[in-house]
């Protein structure tokens, strides 16, 4: 009897022995302007006196009719004050009303800029763009704002024509900036980020990645660029680590600030490598900077637990995050997948219903609905909602992964591979889509293609045990059991190093046992199968496998004992029943032969 290895499954009840390969579970042009405009890093403040610490103060107290400061101010200064105060309080109509008056009185370019900024926040992008059109040749800040208006209108090529498709500051020494004494975010870095965002929306991901990296090189505080690189998996695990550690923190910031920014970024990297360094960075943020209850620090811990398949512990942290920050967009996908993995149908249904009610315009909402239908086995419905999420945002990778899973569970390999391939194009630095494509080729017995994709996945990430497990399965199917054993062992070493939950990797222990059994080393096989029986709940498949090894060794009494123990857990297993019958028949034949020999 031969039994192919199986993939790690998160179900409490392991599959029968032998079992077909399990389906994967969800676990993720040059500048048109000939000359560069003069640079205005940030518009100067519109008034000559400092703002109070709180934006929500009584204007009458600060500028009352009896105040000496009020009588000394010109009307335009008072109007600027009213405009900015209303802007800080999100009273945009009021801000626009008084801002319009001060623009008419002064005609000052800064007043024009601030009025356009108000229009932008009101969602009146064409109006804002028209207002600053004449200033774009002399002010980079206005050109930047106009490009942001184009982005909001999804006019990405027009935005690139305003910004230029290349970093115009690169040839002017901006890569080696002196420390930013103003303390803000460098406008040059913001422009690089916005250029990268426009390119990413045009699916020009290589150029977009270059722009995001340039933004961080210009100013390490430009978090949007870091977020795009990391959340969209634009770099491999190794590339992320090398790039983040290559940034010139100390050249741009004071020592303390540089350390703080660097520790924050390190804590948010992928958790498949340099786990100890990431844990140390997170511990420093918690202990030195008192960020133990910070959303991003908690999310870093949740991502680590998720990568270790410790879904219950991960769910506890994501639940805490959502209590502190309802519908946090970075936390929701992990929270939803944890609910799916733990088969929390009711909780997932309630969360999906809440998201549909309050946030129907974001893709993660419909991803959650799709996960619920996938969990209850309604794959057609799940595909409908995964498709809706990907339609709302064609760059939303989780929806494409879920879409592929809904086909994979029905053994629709070609459709699943198509969905995973789309995710692979979006997440060029992630090994997950290539891993799932390789798994589909394994199920279809396309070993050559499986080898190609699994090897690519391994090149992208050498710290995921599942990649080594799948490579072991592939070599097992190629009848290269020695190599299969090597990969299974390396997978289990990583499981131990990353402190993954052992029960999740039960199948890898089973695979290792089967590989030794195929090589004829039955004692080693029994050792690994017995490792599985010590886990909770006990695995009837492992008990059957142990019985079969004793059966082959013609130790029938031991075999019968393990077969009976397996049937005690899973009575209707036809394979174990058939093996038990054969074992009993062989025992009877052996007894009869011994009796005949005694008579002779």
pLDDT bucket at 38, cuts 50 / 70 / 90? very low
Residue 518 located in a structural domain: yes
Q: Are residues 472 and 544 in the same domain?
A: no
Q: How far is CA 281 from CA 14, 246, 261, 284, in A?
A: 38, 16, 11, 5
Q: Kindly report which listed range (167-176, 200-209, 318-327, 539-548) carries the lowest average pLDDT score.
A: 167-176
Among residues 428, 431, 398, 437, the alpha carbon closest in space to that of 271 is found at 431
Gap between the Cα atoms of 473 and 485, Å rounded: 9
Instruction: Please enumerate in sequence order all residues whose Cβ is within 8 A of that of 573, keeping only pairs 6 or more positions apart, or say none.
Output: 16, 540, 544, 566, 567
Among residues 300, 308, 340, the alpha carbon closest in space to that of 501 is found at 308
Gap between the Cα atoms of 132 and 109, Å rounded: 9
Q: Residue 3: its pLDDT value, please?
A: 44
Among residues 445, 443, 470, the alpha carbon closest in space to that of 455 is found at 470
Residue 568 located in a structural domain: yes
Cα torsion 396, 400, 401, 407 to 10°: value is 160
Residue 281 located in a structural domain: no
Q: Residue 590: its pLDDT value, please?
A: 87
pLDDT at 68 over 90: no
Q: Are residues 489 and 554 in the same domain?
A: no
DSSP helix/strand/coil, 17:
coil
Q: What is the CATH number of the domain that holds 564?
A: 1.25.40
pLDDT bucket at 600, cuts 50 / 70 / 90? low
Q: Are residues 523 and 448 in the same domain?
A: yes
Q: Are residues 435 and 518 in the same domain?
A: yes
Instruction: Please enumerate in sequence order all residues whose Cβ is within 8 A of that of 358, keeping only pairs 6 or more positions apart, or say none.
Output: 327
Gap between the Cα atoms of 513 and 507, Å rounded: 10
Structure tokens at 433: 């889509």
- Burial class (CB within 10 angstroms; exposed 0-12, middle 13-18, buried 19+) of 296: middle
pLDDT bucket at 62, cuts 50 / 70 / 90? very low
Q: Residue 499: its pLDDT value, please?
A: 77
Residue 584 located in a structural domain: yes
Of the residues 528, 551, 585, the one at which a domain ends: 528
Q: Are residues 492 and 547 in the same domain?
A: no
Q: Residue 175: its pLDDT value, please?
A: 47
CB 370 within 8 A of CB 383: yes
Of the residues 501, 528, 555, the one at which a domain ends: 528
Among residues 126, 253, 256, the alpha carbon closest in space to that of 186 is found at 253
CB 151 within 8 A of CB 194: yes
Of the residues 465, 496, 528, the one at which a domain ends: 528
Residue 40 located in a structural domain: no
Number of other CB atoms surrounding residue 83 within 10 Å: 27
CB 408 within 8 A of CB 23: yes
CB 244 within 8 A of CB 227: no
CB 478 within 8 A of CB 450: no
Highest-pLDDT range among 38-47, 70-79, 89-98: 89-98
pLDDT bucket at 502, cuts 50 / 70 / 90? confident
How many Cα atoms within 13 Å fall on the side-chain side of residue 340? 26
Q: Residue 20: its pLDDT value, please?
A: 27
Q: What is the pLDDT of residues 396-425, one digit of tens each?
A: 999 999 999 999 999 999 999 999 999 999
Residue 432 located in a structural domain: yes
Q: What is the pLDDT of residues 95-148, one digit of tens each?
A: 999 999 999 999 999 999 999 999 999 999 999 999 999 999 889 999 999 999
Which residues span the domain enclosing 516?
Answer: 428-528
Q: What is the CATH number of the domain that holds 433?
A: 1.25.40.10
Structure tokens at 421: 């391939």
Residue 419 located in a structural domain: no
Gap between the Cα atoms of 481 and 486, Å rounded: 9
DSSP symbols for 182-249: T-S--HHHHHHHHHHHHHHHTT-HHHHHHHHHHHHHH-TT-HHHHHHHHHTT-S-HHHHHHHHHHS-H
Q: How far is CA 105 from CA 80, 108, 456, in A?
A: 11, 9, 64
Q: What is the pLDDT of residues 427-483, one digit of tens each?
A: 999 999 999 999 999 999 999 999 999 999 999 999 999 999 999 999 999 999 999
Nearest 5°: the CA angle 155, 160, 162 is 100
Q: Are residues 501 and 454 in the same domain?
A: yes
**Buried/exposed 542-558: b ≥16 CB within 10 Å, e otherwise:** bbbbbbbbbbeeeebee
CB 388 within 8 A of CB 366: yes
Distance of CA 500 to the CA centre of its chain: 18
Q: Residue 598: its pLDDT value, please?
A: 78
Q: Are residues 520 and 545 in the same domain?
A: no
3-state percent helix, strand, coil for the chain, nearest multiple of 5: 70, 0, 30
pLDDT at 64 over 50: no
**Buried/exposed 358-386: b ≥16 CB within 10 Å, e otherwise:** ebeebbbbbbbbbbbbbbeeebebbbebb
Residue 50 located in a structural domain: no
Please report, rounded to a whole number, the percentage of residues in the chain having pLDDT higher than 90. Answer: 78
Q: How many domains does the chain have?
A: 2
Helix (H) or strand (E) holding 129: helix 125-131
Helices 295-307 + 275-287 axis angle, to 10: 150
Q: Are residues 468 and 521 in the same domain?
A: yes
Q: What is the pLDDT of residues 214-253, one digit of tens each?
A: 999 999 999 999 999 999 999 999 999 999 999 999 999 9
Structure tokens at 160: 């690139």
Q: What is the pLDDT of residues 145-182, one digit of tens each?
A: 999 999 999 999 999 999 987 877 665 554 444 555 55
Gyration radius (Cα) of the chain, Å: 31
Q: Are residues 565 and 522 in the same domain?
A: no
Structure tokens at 174: 């901006």
What's the whole-number mean pLDDT along residues 348-364? 96
pLDDT at 27 over 60: no
Gap between the Cα atoms of 179 and 408, Å rounded: 52
**Buried/exposed 434-444: b ≥16 CB within 10 Å, e otherwise:** bbbbbbbbbbb
Helices 522-533 + 506-518 axis angle, to 10: 160
Q: Kindly report which listed range (65-79, 115-129, 335-349) carries the lowest average pLDDT score.
A: 65-79
Gap between the Cα atoms of 303 and 306, Å rounded: 5
Gap between the Cα atoms of 518 and 483, Å rounded: 13
Gap between the Cα atoms of 159 and 339, Å rounded: 40
Mean pLDDT of the chain: 87
Structure tokens at 229: 């690189």
């Amino acid at each position: 009897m031969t039994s192919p290895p199986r993939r790690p499954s998160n179900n409490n009840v392991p599959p029968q022995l032998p079992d077909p390969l399990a389906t994967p579970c969800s676990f993720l042009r040059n500048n048109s302007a000939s000359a560069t405009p003069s640079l205005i890093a940030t518009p100067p403040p519109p008034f000559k006196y400092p703002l109070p610490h709180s934006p929500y103060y009584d204007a009458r107290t600060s500028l009352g009719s009896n105040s000496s400061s009020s009588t000394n101010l010109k009307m335009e200064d008072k109007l600027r004050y009213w405009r900015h105060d209303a802007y800080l309080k999100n009273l945009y109509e009021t801000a626009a009303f008084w801002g319009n008056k001060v623009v008419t009185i002064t005609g000052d370019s800064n007043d024009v800029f601030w009025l356009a900024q108000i229009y932008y926040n009101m969602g009146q992008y064409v109006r804002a763009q028209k207002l600053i059109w004449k200033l774009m040749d002399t002010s980079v800040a206005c050109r930047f704002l106009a490009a942001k208006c184009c982005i909001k209108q999804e006019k990405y090529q027009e935005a690139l024509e305003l910004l230029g498709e290349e970093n115009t500051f690169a040839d002017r020494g901006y890569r080696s900036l002196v420390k930013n004494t103003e303390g803000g975010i460098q406008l040059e870095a913001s422009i690089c980020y916005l250029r990268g965002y426009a390119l990413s929306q045009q699916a020009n991901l290589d150029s977009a990645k270059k722009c995001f990296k340039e933004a961080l090189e210009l100013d390490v505080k430009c978090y949007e660029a870091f977020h795009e690189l990391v959340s969209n998996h634009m770099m491999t695990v190794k590339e992320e680590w090398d790039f983040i550690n290559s940034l010139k923190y100390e050249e741009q910031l004071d020592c303390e600030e540089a350390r703080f920014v660097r520790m924050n970024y390190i804590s948010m990297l992928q958790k498949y490598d340099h786990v100890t360094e990431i844990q140390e960075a997170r511990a420093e943020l918690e202990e030195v900077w008192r960020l133990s209850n910070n959303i991003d620090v908690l999310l870093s811990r949740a991502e680590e637990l998720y990568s270790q398949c410790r879904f219950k512990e991960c769910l506890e942290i994501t639940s805490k995050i959502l209590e502190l920050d309802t519908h946090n967009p970075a936390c929701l996908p992990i929270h939803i997948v944890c609910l799916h993995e733990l088969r929390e149908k009711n909780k997932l249904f309630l969360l999906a219903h809440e998201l549909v009610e309050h946030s129907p315009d974001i893709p993660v909402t419909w991803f959650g609905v799709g996960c619920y239908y996938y969990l209850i086995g309604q794959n057609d419905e799940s595909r409908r909602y995964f498709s809706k999420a990907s339609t709302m945002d064609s760059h939303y990778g989780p929806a494409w992964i879920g879409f592929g899973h809904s086909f994979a569970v029905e053994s629709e390999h070609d459709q699943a591979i198509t969905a995973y391939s789309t995710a692979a194009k979006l997440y060029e630095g992630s090994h997950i889509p290539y891993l799932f494509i390789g798994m589909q080729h394994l199920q279809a017995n396309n070993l050559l293609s499986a080898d190609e994709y699994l090897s690519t996945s391994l090149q992208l990430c050498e710290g995921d045990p599942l990649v080594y497990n799948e490579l072991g399965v592939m070599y097992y199917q190629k009848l290269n059991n020695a190599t299969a054993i090597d990969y299974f062992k390396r997978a289990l070493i990583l499981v131990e190093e990353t402190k993954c939950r052992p029960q999740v990797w039960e199948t890898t222990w089973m695979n290792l046992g089967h590989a030794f059994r195929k090589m004829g080393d039955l004692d080693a096989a029994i050792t690994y199968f017995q490792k599985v029986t010590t886990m909770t709940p006990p695995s009837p498949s492992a008990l059957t496998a142990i019985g079969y090894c004793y059966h082959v060794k013609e130790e029938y009494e031991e075999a019968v004992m393990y077969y009976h123990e397996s049937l005690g857990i899973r009575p209707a297993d036809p394979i174990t029943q058939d093996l038990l019958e054969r074992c009993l028949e062989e025992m009877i034949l052996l007894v009869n032969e011994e009796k005949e020999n005694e008579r002779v």
